[in-house]
Structure 1
Amino acid sequence: MDQLTTHTDTLIETIGKNSSVSREEMSDLLTAYLPTNGMIRVIDENENDVTGKLAKSQEYTDVPIEYTTTERREVISFNQMDVAIVTKPIIWQNGKIVTIQVSDHLIHMNETMQTLRYVLFFSSAIILIPTIIASFLLSRFLLNPIQKLKETMQTNISKRDWQKIDIENRSKDELYEMEVTFNEMIDSLKENYEKQEIFVSNASHELKTPIQIIKSYAQLLSRRGEGNPELLQESTEAIDSEADRMQNLVEQMLALAKNQQEQVMETLDMRELLQQVTITFQKAYAPREINLLVDEKTKYVWQGNPDQIKQVIYILLTNALKYSEKEVHIRLQQQNDEMIVSVQDFGEGLAEQDQQHIFERFYRVDRARNRETGGTGLGLAIAKVIVESYQGEITVQSKIGEGSIFRIHLPNMDQ
């Protein structure tokens, strides 16, 4: 349209310079400016073509005639073809205002647009085909690990097989991190499940023994207890002893489960708490010597549950008094960012292999000796659970023939 407007302006300028030429010469002049696929008209106020139909093809002259005194630029659809038309008023040779109409059928544009459509279609195909293939491959790359993860999870749920995902030769992307996390979760679940099975198995075994003893003595009493005072006393004492041991075992298992739950925190004076525990044990185990060693000038303020902390100290003191005949020392220290409570005895001590398992549930250094003293093998496991619930640590240092030191490391909590 811009090109046609420029062409029309040039034509009008030429007409103005040659306004005195004859009608035939003017027709020849206009023919020189005729568009290849268009037409030139000069229309008077009666909508008559002053110069005749100037066009290279008859079909180009079918454009509607319209006289106007205003300049117009437009594209119209005519005979299933787009036509660009520029219409401008000019002063003709006779001094009257006429309309010059220059049109150009947009044949080349239609051909070009058709060509562009073909180019766009083929270029889109060239672009889309590799894109679709790449998308398919990328989706397989992304979905295969997810599908594999899903299948592994379903296998673990249905078969309890604890299968893990093979992550060798895998690119370390987000999916790789997810697979690593999944494998770590499977390891943790497997470990906890096995611990649970061991716990249930050991608990069943530990409860089975006293139940069997009680049942055996009850059957013995029913057969020969009547008129046999010695057998009656022996059976009664055995039943009472095994019932106590079974009650102790059940209470400790309940305590183990209870201490895994969240407890109410309080601000504690650890020195005062240990003094109370020490006095209680000194009275209960008199004349055994139980000493509390603490720096009186240091503040030992900590946050925790007093019942839980007392339970840990009770467990350690009970073991120390049970498995040694000499004095027992309790020591409270403040070191860097943690508070340390240690319980030291001077008994037979623990072998290195026993120290590695002493905090496991139902583990006993000497099963026969523990049965005699009424131990269940759960005390130190309970202490460990409680201490670790405060992000702390419980350790043991021992040497055969010299005794043992159990240390509770408690991180300082915000007040």
Structure 2
Amino acid sequence: MKLSTKIRLFSSLFMLILVLLVNTAIYYMFHTMSLNGERAELTEQANEIVTALNDSPNIAKSDLLRAYLPTDGMIRVVGKDGNLLMSTLTKDWSYKDLPSSYSKKQTSRIIPLKDQANFLTVSKPIIWKNGEVATLQVYKQLVAHTETMETLFYVLMVASIIVLIPTIIAGSLLGRFILNPIKSLTSTMKENISSTNWKKINLENRSRDELYEMEKTFNVMIDYLKDNFEKQEIFVSDASHELKTPISIVKSYAQLLKRRGRENPELINESVQAIDSEADRMQKLVEQMLLLAKNQEQGAYSKLNIVQLAWATVDQFKGAYNRELIVETDSQDIYVNGNYDQLQQVIYILIDNALKYSDKSVNITLSQQPSEVQINVQDYGQGIPQEEMEKIFDRFYRMEKSRSRELGGTGLGLAIAKAIMEKHHGSLSVISNPGEGSTFSMMLPTINRN
């Protein structure tokens, strides 16, 4: 069942039930009030008859009772034994079959009849001839009451239909109002799936309701997907491009060895060294691409001493390189919340770059600020031109590609470092002047020691 059909069905059924409940209540209340009015009127008439009988003992009782005979009813006097003490007074002898009863107290009841209006009867005790206690029963057929209730029933039925028709129309309009944006959203999604054109929904002249928020969120999601898809395409394209060169070199040297390697031993050594170098570069490139993908995930965070982490990273370089690494810190205990391996990787990347692009010493400075810790890695190398500053954190970007290739650079290190810092709610920036060196700054939020 379609959603539009469900909306129309639900709204119509809900209104139908509501109308039925209201109309039933109205019908029942009016029926009760009308019946109580008829009962009160007939009771008052019976009281008048009793008063007249008591006040006029010399008038023939049959004549007196005939004067109070209802138009659509009859009068009976019933004795103790249930027999009639006088002839039934009525203008319609078809009423004579109505039941009668003796009662010592005032009562009233409804006598239901088939295919015609019901009767209302009121019974009152009276003093009859010779002091005998009898029962006066006054009957009245509820013709006017029945006709009124029938009229009310048809009026309520027509009113219900009049109410339900606009309800059905309103349900249909409501269904369109709700479903049109959903249909538009579904159509746009299908179009995006089939053609990948990143189409968005037009939100002009729209009311700011929940459907508007849904469509707005969809547009934001499309922008997000488009951005990530384009980044993915760029990443794959750049990775393919970066791998294409070493693969071509390896293939060229392999073909060269195949053609001339047996006659030229020197060519074998040259080719093996080139193939080994390019294989190492491909391995490093693949490893860094895997690291970049891995660092998109949230690792396990814990409280750690960033000063100790920095010293541990520096010690690794001191053991592998014969270079001067100077560490300065204003505190030995600075704590952050993060992933140990990932933060160590950032410091490793910054120190590794500083050693590659500088032949002088490298300074690592840690300074604690009110709510952050700043870690600077400073080198005294060639520096970075101003027009290159914003590009160095892009994937696969290298300033001097020939020199970076010689140093084994892939253009992924700083992209990895920046991604890790963003995951840790920190930042990574650089200050550099050509010919004077560069200073990379890590900013991380700190936590209490306890």
SS across alignment from 1:78: coil
Q: Distance in 2 between matches of 1:329 and 1:232?
A: 43
Gaps of 5+ in 2: 1-38
Please give the secondary structure, in 2, of the residue aligned with 1:86. strand
Which stretch shows the higher mean deviation, 53-62 or 304-313? 53-62
Number of corresponding residues:
410
The TM-score with structure 1 as length reference comes to 0.92
- Is 1:201 the counterpart of 2:228? The answer is no
Q: 1:344 — aligned with what?
A: 378
Equivalents in 2 of 1:33, 1:339: separation in Å? 109
Instruction: Answer yes or no: is the 8 Å Cα contact 1:331–1:341 preserved in 2.
Output: yes
State the identity %. Answer: 52
Q: Distance in 2 between matches of 1:17 and 1:355?
A: 122
Alignment partner, residue 27 of structure 1: 62
Q: CA deviation at 1:248?
A: 0.6
Decide which of 238, 244, 250 is 2:286's aligned counterpart: 250
Given that 1:63 and 1:78 are in contact with CA atoms closer than 8 Å, whether structure 2 keeps it comes out as: no
Quick one: which of 31, 52, 58 aligns to 1:14? 52
Question: Which letter does structure 1 place at the counterpart of 2:112?
Answer: S
Contact persistence 2:335–2:447 (CA under 8 A): no
Q: Is the 8 A contact 1:60 1:105 kept in 2?
A: no
2:391·2:397 contact (CA, 8 Å) conserved in 1?
A: yes
Maintained 8 Å contact 1:271/1:300: yes
> Counterparts of 1:294-305 in structure 2 under 5 Å?
294-296=329-331, 299-305=333-339
Cα distance, 1:94 vs structure 2: 2.3
Structure 1 CA distance for aligned equivalents of residues 51 and 357 of structure 2: 124
Query: Does the 8 Å CA contact 2:395/2:412 hold for their aligned counterparts?
Result: yes
The offset of 1:109, in angstroms, is 1.2
Residue 275 of structure 2 corresponds to 239
Q: Which residue of 2 aligns with 1:317?
A: 351
State the SS of the aligned residue for 1:132. Answer: helix
**Helix, strand or coil at the partner of 1:88:** strand
Alpha carbons of structure 1 residues 275 and 112: separation in structure 2 relative to 1, 3 Å: same
> d(CA) in 1 for partners of 2:302 and 2:153?
79
Mapped to 2, the partners of 1:57 and 1:307 lie a distance apart of 109
Distance 1:351 1:34 in 2: 120
1:300, distance to aligned residue in structure 2 (A) = 0.3
Moved more, 39-48 or 382-391: 39-48
- State the match for 2:9 in structure 1: none
CA distance 1:46–1:269, change in 2 (3 Å): closer
Equivalent pair of 1:312/1:383 in contact (CA under 8 Å)? yes
Q: d(CA) in 2 for partners of 1:353 and 1:62?
A: 115
User: Given that residues 330 and 368 in structure 2 are in contact (C-alpha distance below 8 angstroms), is that contact kept between their aligned partners in structure 1?
Assistant: no
2:444 is aligned, of 390, 410, 413, to 410
Q: Is the 8 A contact 2:318 2:325 kept in 1?
A: yes
* Runs of 4+ in structure 1 over 6 Å off: none
The equivalent of 2:218 in structure 1 is 182
Q: Do residues 90 (structure 1) and 98 (structure 2) align?
A: no
Q: Matched residues in 2 for 1:205 and 1:362: separation?
A: 10
Give 2:167's aligned amino acid: T
Matches within 5 A, 1:16-415: 16-18=54-56, 20-23=57-60, 26-80=61-115, 81-286=117-322, 288-296=323-331, 299-413=333-447
What is the rounded CA distance, in whole Å, between the counterparts of 1:32 and 1:334 in structure 2?
115
SS in 2 for 1:85: strand
Displacement of 1:79 in angstroms is 4.7
- What residue ranges of structure 1 are gaps of 5+ in the alignment? none
CA distance in 1: counterparts of 2:163 and 2:138, whole angstroms: 42
Q: Which moved more, 1:61-70 or 1:100-109?
A: 61-70
Listed one character per residue, the Cα deviations across residues 76-104 of structure 1 (whole Å, up to 9, x for unaligned) are: 21252211111232221321121111111
Cα pair distance change 1:45/1:283, threshold 3 Å = closer
Q: Distance in 2 between matches of 1:406 and 1:55?
A: 117
TM-score, normalisation: structure 2? 0.85
Kindly state the Cα deviation for residue 280 of structure 1 after the two structures are TM-superposed. Answer: 2.8
Quote how far apart the aligned CAs of 1:413 are.
4.8
List per-residue Cα deviations over 1:259-306 (Å, max 9, x = no partner): 2233233332211221222233234332x332212103x630223222
Partner deviation per Cα, 1:353-393 (whole Å, 9 max, x = no partner): 42222222112222222112111111111112222222222
- Larger displacement relative to structure 2 (174-183 or 358-367): 358-367
Give the alignment partner of residue 4 of structure 1, picking from 31, 42, 62: 42
Task: Tell me which moved more, 75-84 or 53-62.
Answer: 53-62
Q: Deviations over 1:167-221 (max 9, x none)?
A: 1111000110011111111111111111111111111111121111011001111
Residue identity in the other structure for 1:22: I
For the aligned residue pairs, the C-alpha RMSD in angstroms reads 2.1
Within 2, Cα distance between the matches of 1:13 and 1:236? 138
Deviates more, 1:193-202 or 1:170-179: 193-202
Which residue identity lines up with residue 62 of structure 2 in the other structure? S
Does the CA contact (< 8 Å) of 1:338 and 1:410 recur in 2? yes
Q: Secondary structure at the match of 2:135?
A: strand
Cα displacement (A) at 1:241: 0.8
* Cα deviation, residue 313, structure 1: 0.5
What is the CA–CA distance in structure 1 between the aligned matches of 2:54 and 2:382, rounded to whole Å?
Answer: 130
1:51: how far off?
4.0
Contact map agreement 1:256 1:382 (CA 8 A) in 2: yes
> Deviations for 1:301-321, whole angstroms, at most 9, x for unmatched residues?
223222211111010111112
